[in-house]
Structure 1
Amino acid sequence: ILMDYFPNESWVKGIASDLNFIKYSKLYDQLADVLIDKDPLYFENRLFQLKENKQEYQRLEQLLKHQSRWMDLIRFYLQTINKENYPSLLQFIQIHLPKEDVISVLEDLIQKEQHIPELIDDLFDLYIENKDAEKIIQLLIRSKLSLTTSQTQAFEEILNEVNLNPRYFQSEQMDSILAPLFHINPAKAKIFLHQFITLLLKEQNIDSIIEYLEPLKGCIPAIPILKKIEQMQKLSNDPDQQFLLGQLFYEFGQYDQAIDCFSWEMELKAYDPKPVKWLAKLYNEIGMNQEHQAYTQLYIDMQKRA
């Protein structure tokens, strides 16, 4: 070890040339197994240096197993990860680590772009076990994994049980998420698209949203929702259609814009109780009790006069 780290030091050379050392040199040159007991630190260090040699790799692997040094063995596998030793790594981390740590290890390997086909399938299966739909979708986006029939069925069952939150995905990913999602589970995809548009309307104008969702026009189940956004675009510049626009804003959770639309409609049609009824409903839903009561009473009075 000293020769490895200080090869040019005279005192190190002196030790190496000492007769007491020379008589053991054959053991070191041959890296004899007896060194496991006589000089374990050197033996292990030298095996690690020679790990590219298959035989020495296996000797170090067996040494760590024999000594039950499972965490060191896992670390060794991670340092030398390849298609051949990946199954051994997976076996040991599944035995010696909790599931969440197993997932973290596999996620780290994917981040390092390890080209191991089984890795993606194994991580997918763990996400399935955890019913983690959002991570499954992220993995599908990253890896372009083609699901088997059984994987598709398992994923669909999870989608029926969970609520996806578009907030967990970046906007530029949504195209990649929604297209396969409409193929796997159209009902869930429609809900997800509706939620996503609701978020977009808080941050972007309708023209930008229509342009952004253009690639989804090829998904037949998405068309009814997309048509509603296009309808909102047309109605936004039509002062005579603010009542319908208000209903659409309400459907997508945009209560402030809906209130503006119904207030405009109320001014245009002072004797029509319908926008008043909607205003009472909206103020109730956003917790403005005083306004809710005022519009409710106005609606009652208008009904009496009708």
Structure 2
Amino acid sequence: RYFSQNNLERILTIMKNHSYTPSPSQSDTITALIADLNFETEKLNPETLNILMMPLFQTIPKAAEQLLNKSILSLIKKHDIEFIEEWISPLKSHCQGLETYEKLNQIIQLKNDLEQLQSLGELYYEFKHHEKAIECFSWEMEFKPNNPKPVQWLSKIYRDMGMQLESDAYQQHSLNLQKKVTG
């Protein structure tokens, strides 16, 4: 019944509470529901999905990985990294080796290392957390004023955000830095 209603949350709840293994066609339905999932428009709450996701890792691991990716992308926009670290802890045994999990671990390891702001900013950018990426690159620019890399990243992020004036200003600053370094 929940499959015909496309109710992903109920399907995952049944899988968890009743050790239900979906048929191949039901697995296809779950995979399609996850592929179409948009946390901006769905009433599904990513904060509660970590527990519901567990059986999915055993039955449809690719769909579970996709749901994990979407959940983290949604959560990172609303919560600090400590919340996400706590959120993912019940899933650790299922997530070892998954690219998103490994990148999240990198953020956790680098978050307080002032020598790694460039790498941290790039990771936040990959997670589409522009504000945190801007913060990292801005600090990197302060600590290393002659390095054009953080300036180039700031230009790119502002362009991605549709802020062309800011992007152009950082682009020009980057060119000036490169001229200073080479000339």
TM-score range, shorter chain: 0.7 to 0.9
Q: How many residues align?
A: 175
Residues 1:229 and 2:99 aligned together = no
Distance 2:106 2:88 in 1: 14
User: Percent identity among equivalent residues?
Assistant: 33
Matching residue of 2:162: 287
User: Which of 144, 166, 174 is 1:299 aligned to?
Assistant: 174
> Per-residue displacement from partner, 1:140-163 (whole Å, max 9, x unpaired)?
304636135xx2x21332325732
Matching residue of 1:177: 52
What root-mean-square deviation, in Å, do the aligned CA atoms of Structure 1 and Structure 2 show? 2.4
Residues 1:146 and 2:20 aligned together = yes
Using the TM superposition, give the Cα deviation of residue 251 of structure 1 relative to its aligned residue in structure 2, in angstroms. Answer: 1.2
Gaps of 5+ in 1: 1-122
Using the TM superposition, give the Cα deviation of residue 223 of structure 1 relative to its aligned residue in structure 2, in angstroms. Answer: 4.5
Map residues 149-160 of structure 1 onto 2, 5 A cutoff: 151=23, 153-158=24-29, 159-160=31-32
Residues 1:215 and 2:90 aligned together = yes
Distance 2:12 2:69 in 1: 21
Give the 3-state SS of the residue equivalent to 1:253 in structure 2: coil
Distance 1:165 1:183 in 2: 23
TM-score (norm 2): 0.81
Distance 2:76 2:20 in 1: 32
Give the 3-state SS of the residue equivalent to 1:207 in structure 2: helix
Distance 1:273 1:145 in 2: 54
Using the TM superposition, give the Cα deviation of residue 179 of structure 1 relative to its aligned residue in structure 2, in angstroms. Answer: 1.6
Distance 1:243 1:125 in 2: 45
Distance 2:51 2:97 in 1: 14
Gaps of 5+ in 2: none
Contact 2:158 2:167 in 1 (8 A): yes
Contact 1:181 1:189 in 2 (8 A): yes
Using the TM superposition, give the Cα deviation of residue 268 of structure 1 relative to its aligned residue in structure 2, in angstroms. Answer: 1.3
Using the TM superposition, give the Cα deviation of residue 277 of structure 1 relative to its aligned residue in structure 2, in angstroms. Answer: 0.9
Change (3 A) 1:164 1:177: farther
Change (3 A) 1:234 1:280: same
Map residues 88-237 of structure 1 onto 2, 5 A cutoff: 123-127=1-5, 132=6, 135-142=7-14, 144=18, 146-148=20-22, 151=23, 153-158=24-29, 159-160=31-32, 162-166=35-39, 167-171=42-46, 173-220=48-95, 223-237=98-112
Using the TM superposition, give the Cα deviation of residue 220 of structure 1 relative to its aligned residue in structure 2, in angstroms. Answer: 4.1
TM-score (norm 1): 0.51
Distance 2:81 2:112 in 1: 12
Contact 1:141 1:177 in 2 (8 A): yes
